[in-house]
Amino acid sequence: MKELGNSDYIKELIDKGIDLGVEAGKSILIAIIIYFVGKALISLINRMLRGVMERKNVDPAIQTFLGSLVNILLMILLVISVVSALGVNTTSFAALLASAGVAVGMALSGNLQNLAGGIVILLFRPFKVGDYIEAQGTGGTVSEIQIFHTILTTPDNKKIYLPNGALSSGNITNYSKEPLRRVDFSVAVEYGEDIDKVRKALSDILSMDERVLQEPAPVIVLGSLADSSVNMTVRVWVKSENYWNVYFETNEKIYNEFIRLGINFPYPQLTIHQG
C-alpha cells in the first residue's frame, strides 16, 4: 500500500486532480458556450417565428400564445443540452424530471388549468387582442394572450394579468365584439319647459353629428317625471370605436345648445309649507 508521505503517490494524486479539473473545466466551458449560443438561437427563432406569423397575418392572440409556448419549449431543450454538456446522463435526468413532474404538476395544477383556459380562449375566441373587455372585476384593452395569463391595459395605462383558467370559465363582457353600440343619454330639464322644443333641440344636435347612425333611428322620448326634473331619454347607435367620443362630445353640445336656447336645467329643490 502506498503511504500518504510518498512523493510519487502525492504526484499521482495531483496529476489526477489536474486531469479531473481540466475535464470539468472543459465541460463547464462547453456548457457555458451552449447556454449563450442557445439563448441567441432562441431569440433568433422567436424573431423569425413572429416575422412569419406577421407576414401570414396570424391573429395577434395566437401570435402571443404560440410565441410564449415555443419560448418555454426551447428553454427546456436548452436546459437539457446544458445539463448533458456537464456530463449528467440525460436519460437519468429525464427520468428524474418525469418523477418530479408528477409532484410539480400537482403543485402547479392552477397553471395547468390556466394553460387549458388559454387554449379554450383561442378556440372559442370570446375576445381578441385589441378588444376592450370587463372580467374578474376589472376592465381594460387586451394587449396579449399568453399561455397562462391574459394581459389587459387599463385606460390609465396599468397592466393587469388575469389567469386564463378563471377568465375562460367566468363572465366576460366584450365591448368591442359587435360593430355597433348604443349610446344612452338622460337629459334633465325643468318642469314647465316645452317638451317639443327640447325634443327638437336634441334632434338637431344629433342630426349634425355624422357619427350618429340614422339606422337604427335615434330615439328621443320623455323617460320619467322625477321629483325636480323632467328626464328625457335619448338613445342613438354609433360604431363601437366612436362610443366614448360621441358620448362626451354630445353631452357638451347639449349643455351649450340648451343654454343658447334658454332651456333651463333643474337643480334640487325642497319646498316647505308652513301651516
Q: What is the pLDDT of residues 91-111, one digit of tens each?
A: 655 665 665 555 545 445 567
Higher pLDDT, 163 or 46: 163
Cell of 205: 344636435
**Mean pLDDT over residues 187-199, rounded?**
95
Residue 269, in any domain of the structure: no
Residue 72 binned pLDDT confidence (cut-offs 50, 70, 90): confident
Q: What is the pLDDT of residue 106?
A: 47
Residue 266, in any domain of the structure: no
Q: What is the pTM assigned to this prediction? A: 0.61
Q: What is the pLDDT of residue 1?
A: 46
Q: How far apart are CA 215 and CA 213, in angstroms?
A: 5
Residues β-bridged to residue 182: 237
Which DSSP helix (H) or strand (E) runs through 185? strand 180-189
Q: For residues 32 and 60, state if they share a domain.
A: yes
| Contact residues for 240 (Cβ-Cβ < 8 A; gap 6+) | 175, 176, 178, 179, 180, 181
Q: What percent of the chain has pLDDT over 70?
A: 80
Domain that holds residue 147: 115-174
Residue at which a domain ends, from 58, 76, 107: 107
> pLDDT tens digits for 230-271?
999 999 999 999 999 999 999 999 999 999 999 999 987 666
Q: For residues 202 and 247, state if they share a domain.
A: yes
Are the C-beta atoms of 160 and 152 separated by less than 8 Å?
A: yes
Q: For residues 63 and 153, state if they share a domain.
A: no
Q: Give the total number of structural domains in the chain.
A: 3
Q: For residues 21 and 92, state if they share a domain.
A: yes
CATH number of the domain where residue 26 is located: 1.10.287.1260
Residue 163, in any domain of the structure: yes
Q: For residues 103 and 30, state if they share a domain.
A: yes
Cell of 218: 335615434
Average pLDDT score over the chain: 83
Residue 103, in any domain of the structure: yes
Q: What is the pLDDT of residue 97?
A: 60
